[in-house]
Amino acid sequence: MILLPNSRDAWKTDQFNKTLKQELESVDPVSLPLQQNLALSSYVSDEPFSVMVIQSHEETRVVLAKVGIIYSGIEAGCNCADDPTPIETQPEYCEVMLSIDKESAETTITDPPAS
């Protein structure tokens, strides 16, 4: 679970999307489900990731935000000294649903509901 207090505080302002993007991009990528959502590679790379807010709405106790995460993965070879295969990153993308508690700012991450 992660904490997004700035995003919680920015809810209902015109700064919410910008604040959520900045705050989420500053969390440890290990706390996000990036590895589980790889489609083209086998490991998440160390490159920075980018977030875009797709939609958000309020429920009684939480703010729900569907976000897309753009990141890079790598297909790791054997990494032997004589392996000529360069490690190239592959673009990866996933969508997740954030549930930000209005009181504590504790945020849970789940798969978004099917459309």
- Three-state DSSP state, 37: helix
Structure pTM?
0.88
Q: What is the pLDDT along the chain (115 residues), one digit of tens a residue?
A: 899 999 999 999 999 999 999 999 999 999 999 999 999 999 999 999 999 999 999 999 999 999 999 999 998 765 566 666 667 899 999 999 999 999 999 999 998 877 6
CA distances from 24 to 21, 47, 53, 86 (A): 5, 15, 10, 31
Long-range Cβ contact pairs of 21-26 (< 8 A, separation 24 or more): 21/51, 21/52, 21/53, 24/51, 24/67, 24/98, 25/49, 25/50, 25/51
Contact (CB, 8 A) for 61 and 80: no
